[in-house]
Structure 1
Amino acid sequence: MKHLRTVDDVMTHAVISVGQDTAFKDVVEALRMWNVSALPVLAGDGRVTGIVSEADLLLDARDTDPHRATTAERLMTRPAVTVSKDATIPAAARLMARRHLKRLPVVDGEGRLIGVVSRGDLLKVYLRPDADIAAEVRELIMYQLIPRGSAEIHVHVASGVAHLYGSLTDPTLEDVVVRAAGTVPGVVDVTADFTVPVAS
C-alpha cells in the first residue's frame, strides 16, 4: 500500500528548466513548447536561483527599452519559492495557496532542482482507493494509538469520508481517534459513532 505523505511521493521528476544565460527568445520558446507558464532558472551547479514566468516576460516587453533584460537571470523573479522533497503534502499545499502559485520547484538539501510539484499532483492523494485509506486509518488507530484490547473500532471509508464506529473504554480517546483519522492522506472528513462508558 503506497502511503502518499510527502512531496517526493507525488512530484514529477522530469522537469524543464532554463539556465541563467538563456536568451529572452529561447525562454519564450521553451514556455510555448512545453505549454507551461513558468520555468525554474538554474545556476551551473543545478541550484534554483529564480523563476522566469510569462508575467516576467510581458513586463519586460512593455519596458520603454524593449528586451533590456536579455537573459533569464535578468528576467527572473528571485528568490525562487521552492519546496523540499521531504515536505508534507499539506505543507506544500499551504505554501502554494499562500503564494498563489500553480507549481513549485522541488529541491534537495543543497537547493538543486530534482522535480516539480503542481496543484494537480497534490490532489492525487484524494484519488487513493477507499480500501487503502481505510486500511491505513485502521492501522494508525488500532496498532499505534489504542492499547491492545482497550477498544473495538471499525472503519468504513466511502468517497474519502471515514466512518468510525465501535466501543471505547475511555471516552477521552474519541477526540484523539477522530483527529488522528483526519490526518491520513486521502481522508476528506471523519464521522464517529462510538459507545463509551457512562460516568457514574
Structure 2
Amino acid sequence: MSMTVQDVMTTDVASVHEDASFHVVAELLIDRGVSGVPVVDDDDRVQGVVSEADLLAKEEFKERYYGDDYRPPLRARLRHAFGGEGSGFYKAKGETAGQLMSAPAHVITPDASVVQAARLMDSRGVKRLPVVDADGRLVGIVSRLDLIRVFVRDDEEIRSQVMESVADTAVWSPPDAVTVRVSDGVVILSGVVTRHTEAIAVARMAANVDGVVAVRDKLAWKHDDVVDIPVWGGA
C-alpha cells in the first residue's frame, strides 16, 4: 500500500493566528528555524501561509533575519517591486499575519498520497503544504524533506514489501518463482513465472512501492498470454 501524507507529515505545527503581529511572525520563523508557517482563524482553519518571502518587503526583517548585506533572489525582488495586493508595496504596509500572508493556501488532506503531495508542491512552486481535515482545520504540515524521506527507506524494508505484493500478483506461479533483490532502492526481479502477464504485473507492482527508485526486470515466463503487446523480455 502506498504511503499517504498522514504517514510522513509533522503534527507539531508552528502556526500563527491571522491577527498575529509582524514581530510575532518574524520571531516564530527565527525561533523555529522554518521558512514559512500556516495562518489560521479562530476555528483553526487555514487561511493562508506567511513565509520569509512575504516578510522581505520590510527592511527590519531582512536585516535581522539575514544581515545588512542580504539581497533576495531576482524573482523575489521583481515580485515585491510592483504594486498590487501580494506585492512588496502592499505587504510593506502590512502589520498582521493576515495582511502579510499569501492566500489562498495550497493545502492537502491526510489521506492523499505522497505522490499527490509532491505533484502539488511542484506545480505550485511551494516547499510545504498545510494538512487539513474535512473542515479545513489544520492537523499537520508536510514538507519536501518529508517526501524525500520516503525514498530513503531501508532496502530490506522495500524488499519485504515487494515480496508480499509478489505473492498477491503472481498467482499462477509457485511461491518461489520470483527472486527479489534491492540495492540502493533499485529492485532487481529475476526468475521464471508461469505467464507473461504475471511478469508485467509484478514489474508494475514493484515500481509502485514507495521508496523504489527503479526496477530492473529480468523475469522470464513459460507461456506468452499477451496479445498485440510488444514483448518486454523473457524466454
Kept after mapping to 1: 8 A contact 2:170/2:199: no
> Alignment RMSD, CA only?
2.1
C-alpha displacement at 1:198, in angstroms?
6.2
The structure with the larger Rg is 2
Q: Normalising by structure 2, what TM-score?
A: 0.77
Name the CA distance, whole Å, in 1 between partners of 2:207 and 2:56.
Answer: 43
Name the CA distance, whole Å, in 1 between partners of 2:2 and 2:222.
Answer: 36
Flag structure 1 segments of 5+ consecutive residues without an equivalent. Answer: none
Name the CA distance, whole Å, in 2 between partners of 1:162 and 1:91.
Answer: 23
C-alpha displacement at 1:129, in angstroms?
1.3
Name the CA distance, whole Å, in 1 between partners of 2:188 and 2:200.
Answer: 14
- Write the mapping of 1:31-46 to structure 2, written as runs, cut at 5 A: 31-46=29-44
Runs of 4+ aligned residues of structure 1 deviating over 3 Å after TM superposition are 59-67, 148-151
Kept after mapping to 2: 8 A contact 1:4/1:125: no
- Write the mapping of 1:117-136 to structure 2, written as runs, cut at 5 A: 117-136=142-161
Q: Which moved further from structure 2: 182-191 or 93-102?
A: 93-102
> Aligned AA for 1:121?
D
C-alpha displacement at 1:4, in angstroms?
6.5
Aligned to 2:98: 73
Q: Normalising by structure 1, what TM-score?
A: 0.89
Aligned to 1:176: 201
C-alpha displacement at 1:67, in angstroms?
4.6
> Aligned AA for 1:17?
S
Give deviations 1:138-176, integer Å, cap 9, x for gaps: 11121x222154671111111111111111211133222
Kept after mapping to 1: 8 A contact 2:37/2:50: yes
Identity %: 41
- SS at 2:209 equivalent: coil
Kept after mapping to 2: 8 A contact 1:93/1:122: yes
Name the CA distance, whole Å, in 2 between partners of 1:127 and 1:93.
Answer: 15
- SS at 2:30 equivalent: helix
Kept after mapping to 1: 8 A contact 2:4/2:113: yes
> Aligned AA for 2:48?
G
Count of residue correspondences:
196
Aligned to 2:56: 58
C-alpha displacement at 1:66, in angstroms?
8.1
- SS at 1:78 equivalent: coil
- SS at 1:92 equivalent: helix
Name the CA distance, whole Å, in 2 between partners of 1:100 and 1:64.
Answer: 22
Give deviations 1:65-118, integer Å, cap 9, x for gaps: 885221111111111011111111111111111112111111111111111111
**Of residues 7, 12, 15 in structure 2, which corresponds to 1:14?**
12
C-alpha displacement at 1:38, in angstroms?
1.1
Aligned to 1:141: 166
